[in-house]
Amino acid sequence: NPDGVPVIFLHGGPGAGASPECRGFFNPDVFRIVIIDQRGCGRSHPYACAEDNTTWDLVADIEKVREMLGIGKWLVFGGSWGSTLSLAYAQTHPERVKGLVLRGIFLCRPSETAWLNEAGGVSRIYPEQWQKFVAPIAENRRNRLIEAYHGLLFHQDEEVCLSAAKAWADWESYLIRFEPEGVDEDAYASLAIARLENHYFVNGGWLQGDKAILNNIGKIRHIPTVIVQGRYDLCTPMQSAWELSKAFPEAELRVVQAGHCAFDPPLADALVQAV
């Protein structure tokens, strides 16, 4: 509805891209739905490009889209990495945010990226898949896997890049759903999410310090906010949502008996209700 309540959907990853299904969280009679593919992924070009691609570039892009569309204030909806980006945008432009709906809270802290991609975290839950994830990395480099993968994902040899991207994306796919399936796309389709996630993780999301987002919550405590978190989320565990809710007591935390995927029925229902 061009005259409806403006809402922007911010996808995860970084690098996952958006899909038409993302519209399903919003009543088209009520909302003016804005969906973008962030830099380097989806239908944005250049594909899988990390150059000039930082959190603050994305925040600036979101603001340019708002200005281009002539929107004064909008609802910001984001999950996983999209929750990080939603919070960063809101803290930069609080006067432009009508409300926040956040899912699967991820604050891009070293402890969170280590949980995902270093030994001793979620690797203990899927040890058989973890073996496949670490296979491309020499044993003497497995103590710093994110850095080791960086060398492969940005290697001059395209075959090396694509093989590493497939392994990275396959590993993550096992963490998203209760009944995981391998990645269906070819290796090239995995390149954006693997390369951009790694690029952001290596650089700490360009956030100033481990508690950058939590320390700036005061800028947005007046914004109506709902946090929807899956109790059994293996990608972005409950701890971060809990810490955010403690720093942001005005926000409403809704815990759902679900995992990470926004399209799983319990989470999808909770998100629709939150909106």
The answer to whether 207 touches 78, Cβ cutoff 8 Å, is no
- Under 8 Å between Cβ of 78 and 106: no
What is the dihedral angle through the alpha carbons of 160, 162, 164, 168, rounded to the nearest 10 degrees?
170
- Structure tokens, 166: 């497939």
Could you give the residue ranges of the DSSP H alpha helices within 177-263?
187-202, 212-215, 238-247
Instruction: Confirm if 94 and 102 have CB atoms less than 8 A apart.
Output: no
Residue type, 166: K
Does residue 45 carry a catalytic annotation? Answer: no
Concerning whether 83 is annotated as a catalytic residue, the answer is no
Catalytic residue among 86, 123, 173, 233: 233
State yes or no: is 233 an active-site residue. yes
Collapse the DSSP code of 97 into the 3-class scheme (helix H, G, I; strand E, B; otherwise coil) and give the result.
Answer: strand
* Residue of 80, 83, 123, 245 with catalytic role: 80
* Cα separation, 246 vs 248, whole angstroms: 5
Distance from the first to the final alpha carbon of the chain: 16
Please tell me which residue in 11, 150, 199, 260 is annotated as part of the active site.
260
At 35 the three-state DSSP class reads strand
Across 54-74, b (16+ Cβ under 10 Å) vs e yields: bbeebbeebeeebeeeebeeb
Query: Residue 256's closest CA among 112, 105, 122?
Result: 105
* Residue numbers annotated as active site: 80, 233, 260
